[in-house]
Chain A
Amino acid sequence: MEKIYLPTRQFRIVKVLVNAKSIVIDELAKKIGVKPEDIMRDLAELESLGLLRVERKIVQEPVITEEGILVLQKGLPEERMHRVIHRCIGKKIEEFMECISAEAEMDPAHVRIGLQHLIKNNCLRVVNGVVKIRDDHGCLKALEEAAYIKAALKEILEGKHVNKSLLSVLKRRKMVKTERKKQLVITASPKLLELFEKGLIIEKELATIIYPSMAEELDRYIIKEFDLSIPPPRPRAARLNAYMEFLDLVREILVSMGFEEVKGPHVELEFWNFDALFQAQDHPAREIHDTFFLKTEYRGRVPEELLERAKKIHEKGWGYEWNPLRALRPILRSQTTAVSVRTIYERGEGEYRVFSLDRVFRPETLDAKHAMEFYQLDGIIVGRNVNFKHLLAFFKEFAAALGIREVWFKPGYFPFTEPSVEGFIKHPELGWIEVFPGGVFRPEVMEILGAPGVRAIAWGIGIDRLAMSVLGLNDIRDLFNKDLDFLRKMPSPKLPYFLTRTSSKDVKVVKILR
């Protein structure tokens, strides 16, 4: 014979049934502490396993009569009589009965019944028409019997079973009558009794972790179900830095547009950061408020031809005496445009496009909105037929890649570009923000770099504000957050470029910034 695994409640039903053999559903439900309707499904399943029978039966049910209720309230007639018997004993039978009726407030019919029972039990006897005590022992016996009857009545009241002989006494004394009632009766099958006896009916185990070894016997277990509305615990995962991931996505966009990545030194000479860009040596951007200068007497090296050209062009353009020693001072680069101009000097008058995405430095006090060190995305497209309109097209294409739908182009000013533009984007959360400063490198710049025969369109985008919005940050310091849990919880960056087809054609150029 096979083992049968039952869930906990069915197992409990079976246990009750093995003891009772047959039981009405109300009583069964009461025994396991649930409502009858809650176990209907379990019973059906157990029946289908052949373990029990569910039958609709008409059963005789004892019901307590008015007489029974009176007994429960005041006691049996013999009891009531016995309480006052000492006041009436020794009287003639008629007087005795009147006395009892008055003392115990009983009607004559009940007095008669009580008297019969006490006489029957040898408590009282009538001698010459006078009622006398016969035997105290008989009285006790009569009271004892009355107590049994009362207890049985109480049990019936509570819906419990009483044995047949007691029930027939109750019926005879009209305290109880039987009524016919429909009930579901559950009866244990012989199979159940046999299986149970042999220990083949087993309670199912609750399983939290399900092992492959359980695969063939999954019916032995109750597979624990999880509450899907409870937030699950998070793993202490290893992960890439979300900010670095974002920068890599930006690199991928640029590479897909045909740009090659270049790098240059963070410790840079003023020459590459400013002079090569035709920024006059007394330009405000070259003061201590905007550039980090270095504690060193070291003067860098720049090819002589470059210095000569820079001197000539600066002095002609700005009308001052250009100081080569100033140009050779090292600083922390304040713009990655220094990398772009180094590239133009190295590659000369070709057709190429490059970008750099690296850190620059400005004298700022670190707070939620400002940082002394941040990433800049600089790019140039160099060639004979490169023009300002291409630059605006690049901005639109890059804006489209970020999911931006509206841009605004404002004339701007940078010492090294002409025409110059400041591109604004309408960011879904931040509103209008300026992100695209750029322009066409001035002929003076191209001349200094030794590439007067080509044009270069250039831009330098501060990428951090975009990074913050993509990563859902409000504080710029969080890009460099040291808390490992914070780093684990940062969302992985995603850009519209990688999720959908983006195009500059979907970007509208607005006329007015409102």
Chain B
Amino acid sequence: MPVIKITKWDLERLLGKVLSIDEILDYLPRIKCEVDSISEEGEIEYEATHDRPDLYSVEGVARSLRSFLGLGENKYQLVDEGLKAYNTGVPGRPYIALAVVRDLDLDDEAVKQMMQLQEKLHMTYCRRRRKASIGVYDLDKIKPPLYYELADPDTKFTPLDESREMTLKEILTNTVRGKEYGHIIANWEKYPILRDSEGTILSMPPIINSEDTRVTVETKNVIIDATGIDPKTVIDMVTIMAYNIAERSRGKKIVFVEAIMPDNTVLKAPREKGVSIEIVPSKVNDVLGTGLDIEQMIELLKKFDYKITNSQKEQLIVTIPPYRVDVKSWIDVAEDIAMAYGYDTIGSTAYDLPKATHPGRIHPLEFLSRLLRKILVGMGFIEVVNYMMSNPEIQLRIFDMEDELITITNPKMEKYTSLRRWLVPGLLEIIDANKEKEAEIRIFEIGDVAIPDKSTDTGARIERRLGIAVSHRKATLTNGLAIVSTLMERLGLIPRYEKAVIKGLLPRRTAKICIDNIEIGYVGEIHPRVLLRIRHDKPVVVSEIILNKLLMVLRR
């Protein structure tokens, strides 16, 4: 979740109201801003959520609080000045949308917030600029109309924070931004640029803006662009930018820009209003568990800036604020109603679960696991647990095995690159960790293993297994057989043992465990060669039983 930094005085200036610390701690979370910290100097840090990019700068917070606290209506002046831009065709990132905001009153903090909003949108909605990228420019330094086009790699302009002109190619290889985002357009023959009617280059999307058109505290009018691979996203981004920046405009004046596509279709931005949605109050009450009447609901909707265009007893038509990109259907509006009403209000009278219609029960594998666990503890064993994540060395190589493991492509640690396919390696690790301190080790683990298996719908078979290990100077197969037989007898089963050969175990000292011709596991001595490899000097007897199979046997 993006962390946003704002200042208390700036918020208060935009809101026209002084807020106490308690009020900030109370109100911000109610509009989905989780306050992380408030410094003594009044710097506020909060975590915003992915669904509310309009809250990625202070202007959005001020606007939301204005309606939430009933301090006034949010009105914007949308003007058509006939501004146009020409999208001459950039196949790799075909869409551009633009908007203008006029009559701005900026200071350092305002410019900082604008940059923060742009950056946080880049990191989230724009998917690190892959999906879209945004630019803001001083409108008075350029001559519209603007052109979005492809340019030769040796085209030159002065990128932001540089003191000299650089070619587009140079910008990709020699600037910080070029190195970070260059991969998005690296293999293009020509690179996208945004220029004005006189050839002044505003930016090289999605990499960097030009120094010459930079927004400063002196800037009075800005033009915003978003370019990218999806028309809805570029309009969303320009809309959020324009409405948030307009909070700094004296008349909240936003000007439309029409971007003319190569096929002469028009992408007009920003969005003037959101779509209208039908709300059925009874459905809202049903999903929330509330009993709100229609008047209450209308009041709550206003707190989240919805315009009610039609209200009847069984139906409300609401218009979504233009800067809200998350509202897809009535259920999203229902959440806003719940938030406006207060989760604490709903929660404080929430006492009852819906009536249960069926008895509860644990999973049969868990029941069986518990049963075996208790028997084994009674026999003097300690229960251990290991991670399912392991590696081929521990799982296979020390046993000279060559089986396949479920292996991940993006491991974070060398030790954890695969899922275990049996429990014995983990048990040996535990024996190894304790061999200096304990002369006699008796341990068991009940856990899941993953075995590649194309016959399943996911390509892996998950088995719940019981693994047992005994190690002391006189441990032999007999110890293992005694334990397994006792376990099976407790379950009312008679095990039959058959000689078996299993990699990693000592031949002649290894047996399959069968119940009525179903093989449920094995018992055997670890091959001395394996023990020598891990420098363990006492024999180790192990057994593994597949509980899924044991359960099958027990169910018959």
Q: Among A7-15, A26-34, A59-67, A262-270, which stretch is in contact with chain B?
A: A262-270
Contact flags A387-400 to B (C-beta < 8 A → 1, else 0): 11110111111000
Q: Are B373 and A240 in contact (CB under 8 A)?
A: yes
Of B347, B386, B437, which is within 8 A of A392 by CB? Answer: B347
Q: Are A396 and B350 in contact (CB under 8 A)?
A: yes
Q: Among B113-121, B252-260, B403-411, which stretch is in contact with chain A?
A: B403-411
Q: State in angstroms the CA–CA spacing of A239 and B342 once bound together.
A: 47
Q: Is A90 in contact with chain B by the CB < 8 A criterion? A: no
Q: Which residues of A contact B407 (CB under 8 A)?
A: 294-296
Tell me the interface secondary structure of chain A in the complex: mixed
In the complex, how many residues of chain A place their beta carbon closer than 8 angstroms to a beta carbon of chain B? 101
Q: Which residues of A contact B446 (CB under 8 A)?
A: 244
Assuming the contacts A332-B408, A389-B288, A392-B350, asked whether A411 and B360 have C-beta atoms less than 8 A apart, the reply is no
Give min CB distance, B292 to chain A, whole Å: 12
Q: Are B290 and A389 in contact (CB under 8 A)?
A: yes
Q: Is B29 in contact with chain A by the CB < 8 A criterion? A: yes
Interface residues of B in 315-336 (CB under 8 A from A): 328-329, 331-332, 334-335
Q: Is B198 in contact with chain A by the CB < 8 A criterion? A: no
Q: Which residues of A contact B103 (CB under 8 A)?
A: none
Give min CB distance, A468 to chain B, whole Å: 14
Q: Are B434 and A390 in contact (CB under 8 A)?
A: no
Of A248, A282, A390, which is within 8 A of B127 by CB? Answer: A282
Of A351, A358, A387, A393, which is within 8 A of B286 by CB? Answer: A387
Pick from A239, A410, A422, A479 the residue with the most CB of B within 10 Å: A410
Contact flags A282-318 to B (C-beta < 8 A → 1, else 0): 1010001000111110101110000000000000010
Q: Is B433 in contact with chain A by the CB < 8 A criterion? A: yes
Q: Is A196 in contact with chain B by the CB < 8 A criterion? A: no
Give min CB distance, B538 to chain A, whole Å: 15
Name which residue of chain B comes closest to A272, CB basis: B458
Q: Among A100-108, A209-217, A458-466, A484-492, which stretch is in contact with chain B?
A: A484-492
Interface residues of B in 1-41 (CB under 8 A from A): 22, 25-26, 29-32, 34
Name which residue of chain A comes closest to B330, CB basis: A443
Q: Which residues of B contact A44 (CB under 8 A)?
A: none
Q: Is B78 in contact with chain A by the CB < 8 A criterion? A: no
Q: Is B50 in contact with chain A by the CB < 8 A criterion? A: yes
Of A319, A320, A418, which is within 8 A of B332 by CB? Answer: A418
Assuming the contacts A443-B329, A512-B22, asked whether A294 and B409 have C-beta atoms less than 8 A apart, the reply is yes
Q: Among A146-154, A168-176, A200-208, A249-257, which stretch is in contact with chain B?
A: A249-257
Contact flags A370-389 to B (C-beta < 8 A → 1, else 0): 00110000000101011111
Give min CB distance, A414 to chain B, whole Å: 9
Q: Is A37 in contact with chain B by the CB < 8 A criterion? A: no
Q: Which residues of A contact B473 (CB under 8 A)?
A: none
Assuming the contacts A267-B458, A385-B286, A440-B287, asked whether A261 and B370 have C-beta atoms less than 8 A apart, the reply is no
Q: Is B348 in contact with chain A by the CB < 8 A criterion? A: yes
Q: Which residues of A contact B442 (CB under 8 A)?
A: 238
- 16 more A-B contacts (CB under 8 A) besides A248-B370, A514-B25? A258-B359, A260-B360, A261-B362, A266-B460, A292-B408, A295-B408, A300-B457, A301-B457, A373-B416, A385-B286, A396-B350, A408-B344, A411-B335, A455-B287, A483-B434, A512-B26
A-B contact pairs, 26 of them (CB 8 A): A255-B360, A261-B361, A261-B362, A284-B124, A293-B410, A294-B407, A302-B457, A353-B356, A366-B416, A372-B387, A373-B387, A373-B416, A385-B354, A388-B287, A389-B346, A389-B347, A396-B347, A411-B335, A412-B49, A482-B433, A484-B430, A484-B434, A487-B384, A505-B351, A511-B26, A512-B22
Interface residues of A (CB under 8 A from B): 236, 238-241, 243-244, 248, 251, 254-263, 265-269, 282, 284, 288, 292-296, 298, 300-302, 317, 319-320, 330, 332, 351-353, 358-359, 361, 363-366, 372-373, 381, 383, 385-390, 392-397, 407-413, 415, 418-422, 440, 442-443, 455, 479-480, 482-485, 487-488, 504-505, 508-514
